[in-house]
Structure 1
Amino acid sequence: MKILLFTLLLFQNFTYSQRVDLRKLTLNSNIILFVERNDFDYYSKIKNDHFSENKIKIKSTQQILKNNVTENFLNTYIPVPKEGNDFYDNGRINGEDFMGVGEIAEPNKKYYSILFLKKQKSKLILLAHINRSDFDWKELIKKINDIQEIENTTSQKETYKKNIDYYLKYDDYPSYEFIEYYKNINILKSDSLVLDNNQLIVAKEKFLNGIERYYDLVWNKFPKEISKYYIQKMKKISQTENEEEISFYDFQEAYERATHTGFMDDSEMGKLKNKLFGNDEAIFEEKQKIMKTLIENAENKNYR
């Protein structure tokens, strides 16, 4: 007999996020536990017509990944805040989609998960519960351990450097809050991240292997290599014979980055580029000629 399990990926501010910021989640947690489904139980008690008391009881663990508090978490009832009961999420109220995960649980099969507990005043609460059978738990635990090494760093400059190393290692990118914080303490002078020489080399190699989110980090340091990357991307897109399979937006972006021009480029080539889609959109045969012309223009600029 199969049992339908419905587990929320995250509680509180993390409930409706499609992508977990594991770094923030780890740093905001006091206790992190790697557990199996039989290591814990959920309880819900209806108190009245408008409030339910939700708790989790952790009976055992597979591994303690983090614990920096003295509070006992075993065999005690820990509150589980729920949206619409203990707090109200602005995104939910304003119409953002609810994100949850439903899974079919098979008997005699192990289902692992990670519990994130946070101390509030003198009590522990469940901050998040990551429960997905398709997760690479070893990789996730490795990331959590890496984050804790950063947490133990005392120098703010060293903490910034290690955070950048972490983001690069896992093909990730800092949030707006991260950048604003390091601007506030004068480690960053603008919205642009600062990388040392080794980090720049890593970011460039990651970019050339397809991690295009690092474009802003590397384009002005390695303009020739970045241009060549996007010229090759333009050529690949232009070779697609079926118009419906072509993303002219991607081609346009590749051209702008290959030539270091902007969206509002009003040069002859810029106006030609705008005919790929929009109000001045041309027929497909003409678009193919336009793409060829733009590629040649990008190559001429790059090889001067």
Structure 2
Amino acid sequence: MRDVTQNCFLFISENIKKLNEIEKIKNDNKKYVKTVDWYIELMNNDCQYKIENIFTVGFINYYKSKGVIKEEIILQENQKIKAKESFLQGNENLYELIKKDFPEETDQYYLSQLYKIKNIADKSYSDYYDFQSKANIFLEQKEDLKIKFINETLTSDLADYTKNDAIDLILEFIETNIKKK
């Protein structure tokens, strides 16, 4: 346990140093690229230390005002590949950065995650919640209120066998819609 704590402390202090170096960069384009690189690299850490998405409205507005980006985060090709690899290793915070460039990979990743949850024998509330959250990624653009309602029932007080039927219906709906793309 002590090694993990020391490693995390070292990890955090190294990242503070990296951020200090990034802050010293005068060229806004270079600073932007280094910040995105730092964030993608940060998502690959072994510590329990994870940060939420840094690409907030403030971050985007700052780089828009500097003329570095137009509307949204722009990744260079090598950053896209790094972000995709990290996402496929489970760093789901990177989803928003890669979903447009790698729609098939992100769909397959989340579909496999949904099947992993489906195959858990004795699901807990958090398993149903995780399934619901991951399914929402597929369902957010759909206008089918019935399937959205079914997905919402996963965190209700229904019996597990009913929830498992709901999972089957949701997976069938998602797979049908993936094939239509």
Taking the aligned partners of 1:155 and 1:263, their CA distance within structure 2 comes to 38
Structure 1 vs Structure 2: percent identity of aligned residues? 26
Aligned residue in 1 for 2:109: 229
Matched, 1:134 2:38: no
Matched, 1:288 2:164: yes
> Helix, strand or coil for the counterpart of 1:188?
coil
Equivalent residues, number: 167
Taking the aligned partners of 2:150 and 2:12, their CA distance within structure 1 comes to 47
Structure 1 contact 272–290 (Cα < 8 Å) conserved: yes
Aligned residue in 1 for 2:36: 164
Matched, 1:240 2:120: yes
Per-residue deviation, residues 238-263 of structure 1 (Å, max 9, x unmatched): 12222435432211121122x3x218
Aligned residue in 1 for 2:46: none
The alpha-carbon deviation at position 185 of structure 1 amounts to: 2.1
Structure 1: give runs of 5+ residues left out of the alignment.
Answer: 1-132
Matched, 1:300 2:176: yes
Per-residue deviation, residues 208-247 of structure 1 (Å, max 9, x unmatched): 1111111111112211111111111111111222243543
Aligned residue in 1 for 2:48: none
| Divergent runs of 4+, >6 A | none
Give the 3 Å change call, closer, same or farther, for CA 294–141 of structure 1 in structure 2. Answer: same
The alpha-carbon deviation at position 265 of structure 1 amounts to: 4.4
CA RMSD, aligned part only? Answer: 2.6
Aligned residue in 1 for 2:67: 186
Structure with greater strand percent: 1
Per-residue deviation, residues 130-174 of structure 1 (Å, max 9, x unmatched): xxx933354344334433442342211111111111111111542
Aligned residue in 1 for 2:47: none
Give the 3 Å change call, closer, same or farther, for CA 302–154 of structure 1 in structure 2. Answer: same
What is the letter of the counterpart of residue 134 of structure 1?
A: T
Q: Which has the higher contact order (CA 8 A, sep 6+)?
A: 1
**Aligned counterparts, 1:249-264, within 5 A:** 249-257=129-137, 259=138, 261-262=139-140
Structure 1 contact 193–217 (Cα < 8 Å) conserved: yes
Taking the aligned partners of 1:165 and 1:246, their CA distance within structure 2 comes to 32
What is the letter of the counterpart of residue 153 of structure 2?
A: K
Taking the aligned partners of 2:160 and 2:23, their CA distance within structure 1 comes to 54
Aligned residue in 2 for 1:216: 96
Taking the aligned partners of 2:153 and 2:120, their CA distance within structure 1 comes to 18
Taking the aligned partners of 1:210 and 1:223, their CA distance within structure 2 comes to 16
**Aligned counterparts, 1:40-51, within 5 A:** none
Structure 1 contact 237–246 (Cα < 8 Å) conserved: no
Structure 1 contact 265–271 (Cα < 8 Å) conserved: no
Structure 1 contact 240–246 (Cα < 8 Å) conserved: no
**Aligned counterparts, 1:79-158, within 5 A:** 134-136=5-7, 137-158=9-30
Structure 2: give runs of 5+ residues left out of the alignment.
Answer: 44-50
> Helix, strand or coil for the counterpart of 1:240?
coil
Structure 1 contact 228–302 (Cα < 8 Å) conserved: no
> Helix, strand or coil for the counterpart of 1:303?
helix
